[in-house]
Amino acid sequence: MKRLSIAIDGPAGAGKSSVAKILARRMGYTYLDTGAMYRAVTYEALRRGIEEEAAIAAMAAGLDMTVAPGEGRMRVFLSGEEVTDHLRTAEVSGAVSRVSAIPDVRTVMVALQRKLSAAGGTVLDGRDIGTVVLPKADVKIFLTASPRTRAIRRYKELGGSEAGLSVDEIEADIRRRDLLDSTRAASPLVAAEDAVHLDNSDLTLEETAEAIMKICREKAGEER
Ligand code: DC
């Protein structure tokens, strides 16, 4: 069967990365977490204390970033040093929207993402995969869920009441990020015209992955 390239885009908390990982495992494909790549640029900018946009872009262009599959998540290395554990901190999460909105940062990341997925047999998740990174992806999914559903998922992920944040506060943050990601000038979050829209508010991750696998099987069947 042809090894497909699969693009999964959608807002934060829709379950893109969880679903992408399930798909990659089941299909024997490589999972490329493009958000982690923007997070790595952000982490390095914070570490070096670089704030100005042009300087962040110049730094991104000079980064030696490599990735590798890992247990349950993609691993990221900068000049050979693993930074995976530093990418999901509140500090990086707070700054990544701004960094990922810098056009020259996007150009560098998109080129790297295309290179890493050139051979096919890849599942990419992000915001602009079907529109910009891989406009010719074999399968494009635009995955959404209601802001409330996404907030509840995140609340549980953070350990419920242990998190110190209420569902309402998380929902407000999700709505803020949605707005930032969908209204920025560079590659705003929009569905590709030929993407299949999938709202998984009432589906489990397994059911979501199964729905996408079905689309992939149909696509692979068409192209055999
Ligand atoms: O999916 P995530 O939360 O790890 O993404 C982190 C940030 O990077 C988020 O603000 C959206 C942005 N991003 C992007 O602009 N383009 C992508 N392809 C992936 C993520």
In this prediction, residues 132-140 reach a mean pLDDT of: 96
In 3D space, the residue among 156, 198, 147, 204 whose CA is nearest the CA of residue 177 turns out to be 147
- Among protein residues, the one with the nearest Cα to ligand 1's atom 2 is 35
Helices (H), 63-203: 90-100, 103-116, 147-157, 167-183
Look at residue 2 and tell me whether its pLDDT is greater than 70: yes
Three-class DSSP category at 84? helix
Please tell me which residue, 13 or 85, carries the higher pLDDT value.
85
Q: Which of 9, 19, 33, 38 to mutate to test the pocket of ligand 1 (most atoms within 8 A of CB)?
A: 38
Quick one: pLDDT at residue 223? 64
Look at residue 177 and tell me whether its pLDDT is greater than 90: no
Say how many CA atoms lie within 13 Å of 19 toward its Cβ.
Answer: 31
Other C-beta atoms closer than 10 Å to the C-beta of 18 total 17
Q: If pLDDT is split at 50, 70 and 90, which confidence band does 224 have?
A: low
pLDDT tens digits along 198-220: 999 999 999 999 999 999 999 88
Lowest mean per-residue pLDDT among 53-62, 94-103, 146-155, 215-224 = 215-224
In this prediction, residues 160-180 reach a mean pLDDT of: 87
pLDDT tens digits along 110-122: 999 999 999 889 9
- Among protein residues, the one with the nearest Cα to ligand 1's atom 16 is 127
Query: pTM above 0.85?
Result: yes
Share of residues in the chain with pLDDT > 90 (%): 76
Q: Which of 127, 134, 140, 175 to mutate to test the pocket of ligand 1 (most atoms within 8 A of CB)?
A: 127
pLDDT tens digits along 149-161: 999 998 998 887 7
CA distance 210 to 72: 19
Give the pocket of ligand 1 (CB within 6 Å): 12, 34-36, 38-39, 96-97, 100, 126-128, 181
Quick one: pLDDT at residue 172? 94
- Among protein residues, the one with the nearest Cα to ligand 1's atom 18 is 126
Average pLDDT score, the chain = 93
1: which DSSP letter? -
Which atom, in ligand 1's list, is nearest to the CA of 93?
6
Quick one: pLDDT at residue 149? 95
In this prediction, residues 51-71 reach a mean pLDDT of: 96
Q: If pLDDT is split at 50, 70 and 90, which confidence band does 98 have?
A: very high
In 3D space, the residue among 113, 136, 116, 108 whose CA is nearest the CA of residue 194 turns out to be 136
Three-class DSSP category at 30? strand
Centre of ligand 1 from the C-alpha of residue 224, in Å:
34
Separation of first and last alpha carbons in the chain: 7
Tokens 């599942």 correspond to what residue?
A: 123
In this prediction, residues 76-89 reach a mean pLDDT of: 97
Asked if residues 125 and 30 have their Cβ atoms less than 8 Å apart, the reply is no
Quick one: pLDDT at residue 211? 96
Look at residue 36 and tell me whether its pLDDT is greater than 70: yes
